[in-house]
């Protein structure tokens, strides 16, 4: 019997590991000219250049390439019906928001199209978006509901998300985002929050369809008081907490997420530097979404210097959605995080591996090349990991491994 299931020799590893006190290693945590052994779907062992290699069921010559942890997209809304391309066109023709809204544009149009779509239509469209992410080396993706806005339809979207995880060689984490917008059946936000707290969260928790609960905390979304009600019920059902916060204004939603020991505060362009330490103390990850910043042509930059100074983990994700970030490319988001937000390529790669794993509560098993971690790996034919952020569509993975298996 072989000592390991899979041996990949003659590679450089961008391990993205941390020091014992939780600081990122310098220079991508690189291990040069190494071999790695995989067993039972986990990273089993590393071998320096002159070491005796173990026997292996499968042996791959890495040919001097690089291995990174599998990429993790920790914020997507990838199950939806219809699209908003016409609305995009109208906007560029100078048609007003009022007129677009009158023509049925905006989030309400996606809710309507999603409710009207059959399960098959939703699955087919979502699968295509997931295929695009997987082709780039994504091995773990978070999928939010939020275009159903009723118990029946939120349940349907989360079931489809779970099914995508069962059908594909990719880990799927699901998040209930019922508090995304006001559905047409409700005229006041507090009554809809009652519905979320009294019916939607308890039922979704009972069905075990969500790993976390998210909110849109914004003037055009829900207030901090309304979001706190959602968080309190989520916690009572042992669901993790996330928030769309400080995207368009500073309502102190990040502080609310931190106070509730949330996994992540997402968007945060309007987060004030003085509120950053609260994220650090709570262990809350800052999730940067440069695709939405780009699509909305926003000007307000997230407080990157303060996040760095306080060593808050910064994740990077696509925010893949039909309205404000129609972008099924995490690799593009990595480039945008560097170009638009000034992240270094190392920070950007950490943002889609180690820190993205933390944003999903998976920091102990995914996102780093370390013994005992899941063997989710990407093998790249590149000369240096900075190439992964520097260009757009210049290089694709040579091989992707999910839980130690070639995909």
Smallest distance from the beta carbon of 289 to Zn ion, in angstroms?
7
Stretch that binds Zn ion, among 87-95, 109-117, 194-202, 312-320 (CB under 5 A): 312-320
Q: Decide whether 73 or 319 has the Cβ nearer to Zn ion.
A: 319
d(CA 227, CA 94) in angstroms, rounded, equals 35
Q: Decide whether 155 or 325 has the Cβ nearer to Zn ion.
A: 325
> How many other C-beta atoms are found inside a 10 Å radius of the C-beta of residue 53?
14
Q: Decide whether 319 or 355 has the Cβ nearer to Zn ion.
A: 319
Count of residues that interact with Zn ion, criterion CB under 5 A = 1
Residues in 75-104 at the binding interface with Zn ion, rule: CB under 5 A: none
Stretch that binds Zn ion, among 125-133, 135-143, 147-155, 313-321 (CB under 5 A): 313-321
Q: Decide whether 145 or 353 has the Cβ nearer to Zn ion.
A: 145
Q: Decide whether 144 or 407 has the Cβ nearer to Zn ion.
A: 144
Radius of gyration of the chain (CA): 21
d(CA 143, CA 40) in angstroms, rounded, equals 27
List Cα–Cα distances, 301 to 66, 165, 271, 366, in angstroms: 32, 34, 9, 29
d(CA 252, CA 258) in angstroms, rounded, equals 10
Taking CB under 5 A as the rule, does residue 142 contact Zn ion? no
Stretch that binds Zn ion, among 57-65, 299-307, 317-325, 343-351 (CB under 5 A): 317-325
d(CA 204, CA 386) in angstroms, rounded, equals 41
List Cα–Cα distances, 89 to 84, 105, 213, 383, in angstroms: 9, 11, 33, 40
295-307 in b/e form (b: 16+ CB < 10 A) is: beebeeebbbebb
DSSP β-bridge partners for residue 264? 242, 285
Residue 120 burial (C-beta neighbours within 10 Å; 0-12, 13-18, 19+): exposed
Smallest distance from the beta carbon of 177 to Zn ion, in angstroms?
8
Taking CB under 5 A as the rule, does residue 319 contact Zn ion? yes
Smallest distance from the beta carbon of 72 to Zn ion, in angstroms?
16
Stretch that binds Zn ion, among 19-27, 114-122, 319-327, 356-364 (CB under 5 A): 319-327
378-397 in b/e form (b: 16+ CB < 10 A) is: bbbebeebbebbbeeeeeeb
Residues in 340-379 at the binding interface with Zn ion, rule: CB under 5 A: none
Stretch that binds Zn ion, among 62-70, 78-86, 314-322, 399-407 (CB under 5 A): 314-322
Smallest distance from the beta carbon of 316 to Zn ion, in angstroms?
13
Q: Decide whether 39 or 180 has the Cβ nearer to Zn ion.
A: 180
Q: Decide whether 243 or 303 has the Cβ nearer to Zn ion.
A: 243
- Looking at beta carbons, which residue is closest to Zn ion? 319
- Residues forming contacts to Zn ion in the complex (CB under 5 A) are 319
């Amino acid at each position: 019997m072989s000592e390991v299931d899979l041996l990949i020799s003659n590679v450089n590893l961008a391990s993205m590991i941390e020091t014992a006190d939780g600081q990122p290693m310098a220079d991508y945590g690189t291990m040069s000219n190494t071999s790695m052994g995989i067993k039972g779907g986990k990273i089993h062992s590393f071998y320096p250049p002159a070491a005796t290699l173990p026997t292996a069921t499968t042996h791959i010559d890495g040919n001097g390439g690089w291995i990174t942890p599998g990429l993790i997209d920790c914020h997507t809304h990838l199950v939806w019906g219809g699209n908003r391309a016409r609305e995009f066109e109208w906007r560029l023709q100078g048609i007003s928001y009022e007129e677009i809204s009158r023509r049925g544009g905006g989030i309400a149009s996606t809710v309507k199209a999603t409710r009207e779509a059959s399960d098959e239509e939703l699955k087919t469209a979502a699968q295509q978006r997931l295929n695009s992410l997987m082709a780039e080396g994504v091995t773990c993706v978070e999928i939010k509901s939020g275009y159903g806005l009723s118990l029946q339809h939120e349940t349907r979207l989360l079931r489809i998300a779970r099914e995508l995880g069962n059908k594909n060689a990719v880990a799927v984490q699901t998040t209930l985002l019922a508090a995304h917008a006001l559905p047409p059946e409700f005229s006041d936000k507090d009554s809809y929050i009652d519905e979320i707290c009294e019916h939607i969260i308890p039922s979704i928790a009972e069905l075990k369809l969500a790993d976390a609960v998210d909110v849109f905390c914004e003037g055009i979304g829900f207030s901090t008081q309304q979001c706190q009600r959602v968080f309190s019920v989520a916690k009572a059902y042992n669901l993790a907490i996330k928030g769309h916060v400080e995207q368009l204004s500073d309502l102190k939603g990040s502080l609310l997420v931190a106070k509730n020991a949330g996994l992540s505060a997402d968007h945060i362009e309007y987060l004030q530097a003085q509120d950053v330490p609260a994220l650090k103390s709570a262990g809350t990850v800052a999730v940067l979404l440069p695709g939405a910043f780009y699509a909305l042509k926003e000007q307000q930059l997230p407080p990157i210097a303060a996040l760095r100074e306080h060593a808050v983990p910064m994740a990077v994700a696509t925010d893949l959605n039909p309205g404000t970030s129609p972008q099924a490319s995490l690799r593009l988001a990595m480039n945008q995080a560097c170009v638009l937000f000034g992240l270094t390529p190392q920070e950007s790669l950490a943002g889609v591996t180690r820190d993205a794993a933390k944003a999903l509560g998976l920091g102990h098993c995914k996102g780093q090349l370390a013994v005992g971690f899941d063997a989710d790996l990407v093998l790249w034919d590149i000369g240096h990991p900075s190439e992964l952020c520097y260009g757009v569509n210049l290089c694709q993975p040579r091989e992707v491994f999910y839980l130690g298996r070639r995909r």
